[in-house]
Amino acid sequence: MSTPAFSVPYSFDERSRQSFVSGMRTYVLNDLAGHMRTVYEERVAPGFERRAGRQPESGPEVHKAMRPETIFKFYSSIRCAVQEMCWRSVIPGVVRRAEDLTDTAKRLSGEASEGRATLDIPPDFVTPAYITELDIHLMPGNYHEEHMPDDVSQGAIYDHGFDVFSMKLLGERSDDIAKSTAYFVANRFPDLKPSKILDLGCLVGHSTLPWKEQFPDAEVHGLDVAAPCVRYAHARARSYDLDVHFRQRDAVETGFEDGTFDIVFSSMLLHEMPPAEVRKLLAEIYRLLKPGGLMLHYELPPNSMTSAYDSFYLDWDSYYNKEPFYKPIRDMDFPEAMEDAGFARADQVVFVVPSMTVYGAEAVREGAGQEDVVLDERISRLVDGVRWFCFGARKGA
């Protein structure tokens, strides 16, 4: 297990359970998923072709054909159960230590150097209903719930739960996505030399701190709608002796001046927002960027770039994991949406970033020099050999 910033003294039994859950997820996402694919290719797709005279052409068609299959029911029910077990394996320890964690966070945040690592939580902030109305990816209490003043519990549950969930594929600080991407950006755009960077939907800062580490002279900001996560992120950054600013805001209305940032990044944010809000978000990012600035989103590849089977496979979360926007976002025409927000097609970019943890820095540097984007069934999935799909645009000068 990696080491989340605020340690929770889990018992031997709890650590065993966490390790078992990680192992189960590895089994479900690699072995069971591989077996399900074989059943599809060897039996379900040929059966569909015999009946329809063609192969399935979309994710929903594959979904409909797979739903009666025992392997699909088995995979789905085990995957849901293991998802719930991830959170259940860490919650008791966080609940036991909730007050200590809150005190520790306050102490760490209080030690922040004046003006260099601000924490901004407006008392009257209204959390969007699409966050408050359901427990996204089955995490009890979601990102935002608070049980005491200055509570950081939901941040701690996510940080520790994600450690179990990610099966060690994201490195010691669960930060491989941003770490690999920031290094990729530094190599791909040596002209950029960012002085201000913003991470939207920063959660506990896994996707924020690597930008500060890659560009230590830059002013780095993290923003999220969830107060417990923003507090936790700020204290977590201080625990690593990093000065990063955090604020609770809606990403569609950040409160920053026009033309503030050189880089605006998000990791796993878009698929958790309704499409109409994502369109507002793209316009807000366009407003926030300096001319020549870079917008970059780490996400799952869109349905337009994946096979019918992979569309079905990746959209599973929309139906069974309380991720209602997964499919609508993967169905979106992002080149068009970015153009509507002001980003010219010629300035748009798509990358596949090798994982630094899996492949090493040299592979990321080499990847940054390549123009071709080759997608396979491991892209942006927590499976052996993962690489990260990113897209975005530079704002025309």
Q: Which is nearer to ligand SAM, 310 or 323 (CB)?
A: 323
CA distances to 78, 227, 272, 383 from 310, in Å:
19, 35, 19, 14
Residue from 79, 160, 206, 381 in contact with ligand SAM (CB under 6 A)? 206
Contacting range for ligand SAM; rule: CB under 6 A; set: 7-15, 185-193, 219-227, 323-331: 219-227
With vertex at residue 219, the alpha carbon angle to CA 217 and CA 220, rounded to the nearest 5 degrees, is: 115
From the list 62-70, 98-106, 268-276, 310-318, the region that binds ligand SAM by CB under 6 A is 268-276
Instruction: Write the CB contacts of 118 (distance below 8 Å, at least 6 apart in sequence).
Output: 112, 245, 246, 247
Q: Which of 18, 207, 214, 260 binds ligand SAM (CB under 6 A)?
A: 207
Q: Which is nearer to ligand SAM, 175 or 262 (CB)?
A: 175
| Residue 227 within binding range of ligand SAM, rule CB under 6 A | no
Distances (CA, A) of 348 to 127, 177, 292, 345, 390: 31, 20, 12, 5, 11
Q: Of the listed pieces 103-111, 197-205, 360-368, 380-388, which binds ligand SAM according to CB under 6 A?
A: 197-205
Q: Is there binding between residue 224 and ligand SAM (CB under 6 A)?
A: yes
Question: Which secondary-structure segment (H or E) carries 92?
Answer: helix 70-96
Give the HSE-up count for residue 84: Cα atoms under 13 Å, Cβ half-sphere.
7
Q: Residue 272 interacts with ligand SAM (CB under 6 A)?
A: yes
Residue 344 tokens read as 């010219």
Residue from 44, 152, 269, 296 in contact with ligand SAM (CB under 6 A): 269
- Residue from 39, 80, 268, 337 that binds ligand SAM (CB under 6 A)? 268
State in angstroms the smallest separation of the CB of 226 from ligand SAM. Answer: 4
For residue 379, the SS3 value is strand
Alpha-carbon distance of 29 to 78, in angstroms, equals 10
224 phi-psi bin (left φ>0, alpha ψ -120 to 50, beta other) = beta
Whole-angstrom CA distances from 361 to 20, 112, 354, 364, 396 are: 30, 31, 9, 5, 30
Given a contact cutoff of 8 angstroms between Cβ atoms, the answer to whether 390 and 181 are in contact is: yes
In whole angstroms, the minimum distance from the beta carbon of 62 to ligand SAM comes to 25
Residue 219 CB, shortest distance to ligand SAM, in Å, is: 19
Label the pairing between strands 219-224 and 245-248: parallel
Q: Which residue is nearest to ligand SAM (CB)?
A: 201
Smallest gap, in angstroms, from Cβ of residue 332 to ligand SAM?
16
CB closer to ligand SAM out of 151 and 272: 272
Give 159 or 347: the residue with its C-beta nearer to ligand SAM. Answer: 159
Which x/- pattern over 84-123 shows residues binding ligand SAM (rule: CB under 6 A)? Answer: ----------------------------------------
Rule CB under 6 A: choose which of 28, 86, 251, 341 binds ligand SAM: 251
Q: What are the φ and ψ backbone dihedral angles of 137, each rounded to 5 degrees?
A: 35, 45
- Give the residue from 169, 137, 200, 79 showing the smallest Cα distance to 387: 169
Among 145, 151, 219, 250, binds ligand SAM (CB under 6 A): 250
Shorter beta-carbon distance to ligand SAM: residue 28 or 198: 198
Q: Does residue 267 belong to the site contacting ligand SAM (CB under 6 A)?
A: yes
Nearest alpha carbon to residue 56 among 302, 301, 327, 310: 310
The residue (of 252 and 282) whose beta carbon lies closer to ligand SAM is: 252
Q: Which residue has the tokens 């029910």?
A: 77
- Residues lying near ligand SAM in the complex (CB under 6 A) are found at 128, 131, 143, 177, 200-203, 206-207, 223-226, 229, 250-252, 267-269, 272-273, 277
